Every structure is written in C-alpha cells, then in structure tokens.
Amino acid sequence: MTDCIKNPAGDHMEDRILFIGMPLLVANIAMAIWGIGYRHLHAAGAYLPAILFALMGVAFIVIFGLYLKEEQDEFQRDLWVQALLWGIGATLTIITFWGSLVEFELAKGLKLLFVFPLFMLITCIARLVLRLRYR
Amino acid sequence: MKNRLKVLRAERDWSQGDLAQRLEVSRQSVNAIETGKFDPSLPLAFKLARLFERPIEEIFEDSESAS
C-alpha cells in the first residue's frame, strides 16, 4: 500500500479482510447465488444465513473503521474515505434507480443480498481508480 | 496550495521515496503533496518544516496571499 515503507495499518486491514471479511463475503455471495438462504429454510433456520449476512456487513464496517483509526498516513486515509463514499453513493444511486423501475414494473425485484457485495465491488473499483490517479 | 517541496528535496538529493521514509508516509502521499493535489495537515506540515529546518511559510505558499 505504501510503495516504500511498511504500513502496519494497511497490513492489519489486509489480514482482517483476508481471514475475516473474505470468508464471510464469499459465503454471502455463494448463498445469494445458489439460493441456499431463506427460500429453502423454515422460520428459525432462516435466521442463521440472515445473521451471517448481517455479520459480514458489520465485519467490513469494523475492519474499515479500525483501519481509518490506525492509519497514520493521512493521505492514504483520505483515499479510503473517498473510495468508501464512492461505494456508498453509487450503491444508493443504483438501488434507488432500480427500486423506481421495480415500482413501475419495468424491472424484476433486486435481490437485497447483493447490495453489500455491490457496495464492496464499487468501493474496491473506486480505490483502484484513486490509486491510479494519485500514482 | 503551492509548495517548494520538490526544490527542497532536490537540494538534498532525496527521492520522493527517501522523503516518504523520513516522514513515515507513502511515496504516493509525498507525490500528492508535492503536486498540490493534497494539502497536508498541520502536524505533517510541521514535520516537514522540522525535516527541512525551515519555517512552514517558506515551504508552503498560501495561494490567497500570493494572488
């Protein structure tokens, strides 16, 4: 992340994403794609995937929060804040647009399980673009 | 905000990476400050001032007062 000096905050975040965030994200996407979630489970059983999805969201927010707290390099911190804002803004825009289309029966309902992975995808793309911009 | 980082760095024959290491920030950060794309916080500006042994106003130029 820092090109030439060691960045403990960045290293910690990468470890947390690799060992906590990614397994939860992969489980989330797999469950969303294969429909293992709510459809095939009854009442109490459906709480398990629901809790898993919620945990993933909380885990990533905590990971990002800890990184922003630990990062000593203010410019890198600023880049992550910008990337997160792009992620939040674009995700809200897309789901609002999509939701309007659904209201007028112009599109199928959006699977809400994909909202967080969409946010993550846009945030990562924004982060890459910002890195390239400030090379 | 304009600054004289590139000149000061060149006087000491430091690369952006050398300066980054001394400041304990990324090379990207030094580049962004140097090109005026990012304004450093007051603590980082003081750190630069200490490093180059110059007052802050000799390193950074307030664009409003310059115009």
Average pLDDT of chain A, as a whole number: 84
**Which of B15, B22, B29, B37 has the most A C-beta neighbours within 10 Å, making it the best mutation to test the interface with A?**
B29
**Angle formed by the axes of helices A43-70 and A8-16, to 10°?**
170
DSSP letter for B60, please.
E
Judged by CB atoms closer than 8 Å, whether chains meet at A135 and B20 is answered as no
- Region A12-18 average pLDDT: 87
**CA Rg value for chain B:** 11
- Beta-bridge partner residues of B61: B2
The residues, any chain, with a CB within 8 Å of residue A128's CB and separated by 6 or more, are none
DSSP for A29-59, please give it: HHHHHHT-SSTTS-HHHHHHHHHHHHHHHHH
In a domain, A26, yes or no: yes
How far B16 CA sits from the closest chain A CA (Å)?
A: 10
The residues, any chain, with a CB within 8 Å of residue B9's CB and separated by 6 or more, are B15, B16, B18, B19, B34
What is d(CA A46, CA A42) in angstroms, rounded to the nearest whole number?
A: 6
Q: What was the pLDDT predicted at A36?
A: 55
Range among A5-19, A24-38, A43-57, B15-29 with highest mean pLDDT value? B15-29
pLDDT < 70: residue spans in chain B: 63-67
Angle at B47 between CA A72 and CA B43, to 5 degrees: 60
- Cα end-to-end span (Å), chain B: 12
Q: Which pTM does this prediction carry?
A: 0.80
Whether ipTM exceeds 0.85: no
Judged by CB atoms closer than 8 Å, whether chains meet at A76 and B26 is answered as yes
Which range marks the domain in which residue A20 is found? Answer: 8-133
Judged by CB atoms closer than 8 Å, whether chains meet at A7 and B26 is answered as yes
Q: How many domains does chain A have?
A: 1
What is d(CA A10, CA A32) in angstroms, rounded to the nearest whole number?
A: 29
In a domain, A100, yes or no: yes
What is d(CA B5, CA A135) in angstroms, rounded to the nearest whole number?
A: 17
Cβ atoms < 10 Å from Cβ of B16: 20
The 10s digit of each residue's pLDDT in A65-116 is: 999 999 989 999 999 999 999 999 999 999 999 999 999 888 888 878 788 8
In a domain, A58, yes or no: yes
What is d(CA A113, CA B38) in angstroms, rounded to the nearest whole number?
A: 37
In a domain, A89, yes or no: yes
**Residue A135 pLDDT exceeds 60:** yes
How far A132 CA sits from the closest chain B CA (Å)?
A: 10
In a domain, A2, yes or no: no
- Beta-bridge partner residues of B2: B61
The residues, any chain, with a CB within 8 Å of residue A120's CB and separated by 6 or more, are A25, A60, A87
Judged by CB atoms closer than 8 Å, whether chains meet at B24 and A134 is answered as no
**Which domains can be identified in chain B, with CATH numbers?**
2-52 (1.10.260.40)
